[in-house]
Structure 1
């Protein structure tokens, strides 16, 4: 299958989930930062022009669910649909108190396009501070939650954390500090680890994540552990020293990252879903520039059992 890029224009932080009903469900940061939009189609190339599209949730008028609705993900857990996302109470202030927190929506219907989405509230972590980009994955009957958060005692903007869940909106037990932005490529513009996405292959739990400022310096790294190891033991995890996916001058794709994973229509190929910009950010806050487009490409696996992404393909 040859994929048309961009898949959906002006959509950052793209998440594509292929369900058992044969549909690809697409969700991403909407450029107005005020709604959560869900799309579906039987073919990935149809997600842009011919897909079903519905606004499934709108921001509140005030409070911590009113501004900067970022990075939604849709998951199907125990026969229910869940959307994880981050929201703020102020569009201009971005300190630890007036910044993002993480929230969950639930829908018990078989069809996520129904109107029965219920707010399950904020996911409470170890620290009441800037937090976002939550993802979940299941392993050995346990549900894990991985997210980015500011820790006041650690210099930088966000670190990655990992915990188990007692239900899809509640953490339980130990919280592991999974990764800090300490490598040079993770600290350009801002010290950032964010946007985790998990894939389980080759007896490994592999988490791709993004780092640095959201302009052309944005890039992706990898964390991985064996599925037989204790995932809440920091010694179980390994980290790539260099970025595994970064800007391509040759293909004119800049700042690739905040990815997800899906599979091809025939189920034979693993696919990397990500956003990138067609040019470098010229001036101002790159988050105010809506030219991050959702993109997709297949990738291979190395002899070490880790993904080989290559470089962002051209339009």
Structure 2
């Protein structure tokens, strides 16, 4: 008997023109959404009680870039976290100078709000997150694991060739690193060094006795793709040897469903807490006029995260499932 194959469709975004998406489901029953806006000039939050309503919900601008100096250019990749009863937004910002280099000389910063609803109240600038050296740094995420607060970020080590590596450190509070800062991956495989040598955009996930960090690599055009790190849940996460790295990318461009340059993901949960959801950005076309960073059409997609038989995230299967269900 011939097995009928399910038809694949081009997948549809949940929210258009929002890159580096981060969705968090809070204990108040709301989903909160932040992302890079095409103008790179502000941070906005939107919320809704279900994912479908996020697209139509009205964004609230909580912070705008400064006119000059630090924090005045290319506001990238905000993330919203709730830690010890307060809200925190982690993001990267560059500065205006007489040379173009300043526009891409990013540092990492933190905002804080103690209001129950982060769309209200006042946001305080907690300042720059200081690392071991002053250099290009961005794409911070935080997570709590086994009683400790961890910070993972991308940064340029002046002594290592390339654009950014991934590092991990513990935190003494939500804006201060403490103890050793460990590099856990650098661009080394062919798929990580197309256009630029990049490891960035990490996202944390725990499943059973393993923890995972997904991340993105290469230039931000159709070559952008995802890799995966994993460690045992009881391992020392500050020991680089604890992390095992995928030798091949776990998600890449798929022209059959008009998916180009997928990456910079986050994870959230379904409303019933039963399913993990995979949130990521991608374009729906390949050819870009000019610098990909200024093409506004990186859209936010959400798919149920599937798992492989050996207990790892199945990003390709998750996206394929989304394509099967698309109409």
Report deviation, 1:98.
5.9
Query: What is the aligned partner in structure 1 of residue 146 from structure 2?
Result: 140
Query: What is the aligned partner in structure 2 of residue 79 from structure 1?
Result: 85
Give unpaired runs (5+ residues) of structure 1: none
Question: Cα gap change, 1:98/1:68 in structure 2, threshold over 3 Å: closer, same or farther?
Answer: closer
Matched, 1:242 2:248: yes
Selected match of 2:46 from 30, 35, 39: 39
Query: What is the aligned partner in structure 1 of residue 314 from structure 2?
Result: 308
Give the 4+ runs in structure 1 shifted more than 6 A: none
Question: Cα gap change, 1:276/1:186 in structure 2, threshold over 3 Å: closer, same or farther?
Answer: same
Report deviation, 1:300.
1.4
Higher share in helix = 2
Deviations 1:5-30 (A, max 9, x none): 31110000000000001100000001
Counterparts of 1:200 and 1:35, CA distance in 2: 31
Query: What is the aligned partner in structure 2 of residue 89 from structure 1?
Result: 95
Matched, 1:166 2:163: no
Deviations 1:210-263 (A, max 9, x none): 000000000001001111111111111100001111111100010000000011
Report deviation, 1:137.
0.5
CA RMSD of aligned residues (A): 1.6
Report deviation, 1:120.
0.0
Query: What is the aligned partner in structure 1 of residue 8 from structure 2?
Result: none
Could you tell me whether the CA contact under 8 Å between 1:299 and 1:310 is conserved in 2? no
Report deviation, 1:161.
0.4
Deviations 1:97-136 (A, max 9, x none): 9610000000011110113110000000011000000000
User: Aligned residue pairs: how many?
Assistant: 311
Query: What is the aligned partner in structure 1 of residue 37 from structure 2?
Result: 30
Q: Name the SS for the 2:59 alignment partner.
A: strand
Give unpaired runs (5+ residues) of structure 2: 1-10
TM-score, normalised on structure 1?
Answer: 0.95
Deviations 1:52-110 (A, max 9, x none): 42001111111111110000000000010000000000389564896100000000111
Matched, 1:295 2:319: no
Question: Cα gap change, 1:166/1:270 in structure 2, threshold over 3 Å: closer, same or farther?
Answer: same
TM-score, normalised on structure 2?
Answer: 0.92
